[in-house]
Amino acid sequence: MLYFNSFLFCGFICLIGELILDNSKLTTGHITSLFVVIGAFLDTFGIYDFIIKKVGGGSLIPITSFGHSLIHGALAKTNSMGIIGIFMGMFDLTATGITAAIIFSFLFALIFKPKN
């Protein structure tokens, strides 16, 4: 069941992105930024956690989950640290993604030659 939900949810998010891209003048940069903000908004009142429980892996792949993890780590830290926890915990959960992207893109840029 999780497989089916993953397929539907991730496909649905990409479908919305493609529809916005085709029917307006927004670029992919606009759309990804918009989706991150939407993800952060959905997690404000715990909706995205509910989606993750129902959908599984398919909800961790779209860029909306990036916004979700940012705010989720920040709010988790406020439990122990108070309001300064928002600043301390912001990158707690997304650190792996950002670090991996920086390391791999730097290494591959050094190793491979650009095609054009």
Partner 1 sequence: MKNLKYERIANNHKPKEKKSKNALMAFLSGGFLGLVAEFLINFYSNCFSLSRNTASTLMVVTFIFIASLLTALGVFDKLVNHFKCGLLIPITGFAHSMTSSAMDYKKEGLIYGIGMNIFKLSGSVILYGVVSAWFFGMIRYFIGGA
Residue 80 engages partner 1 in binding (rule: CB under 8 A): no
For helices 2-23 and 28-44, give the axis angle rounded to 10 degrees.
130
Q: For residue 90, what are its two tokens? A: 């912001």
Q: For residue 14, what are its two tokens? A: 């990409």
Residue 58 engages partner 1 in binding (rule: CB under 8 A): yes
**Which single residue is written with the structure tokens 């606009």?**
30
Residue 86 engages partner 1 in binding (rule: CB under 8 A): yes
Which is nearer to partner 1, 8 or 50 (by Cβ)? Answer: 8
In angstroms, give the least distance from the CB of 101 to partner 1.
5
Question: How many Å apart are CA 48 and CA 68, to the nearest integer?
Answer: 7
In angstroms, give the least distance from the CB of 88 to partner 1.
12
Please answer whether residues 5 and 58 qualify as being in contact, where contact means their C-beta atoms are separated by less than 8 angstroms: yes
Please answer whether residues 55 and 9 qualify as being in contact, where contact means their C-beta atoms are separated by less than 8 angstroms: yes
Q: Is 91 in a helix, a strand, or coil?
A: coil
Residue 26 engages partner 1 in binding (rule: CB under 8 A): no
State the residues that interact with partner 1 by CB under 8 A.
2-3, 6-15, 17-19, 21-23, 28-29, 31-33, 35-37, 39-41, 43-45, 56-63, 65-67, 70-71, 74-75, 78-79, 83, 86-87, 90, 96-98, 100-102, 104-106, 108-109, 111-112, 114-115
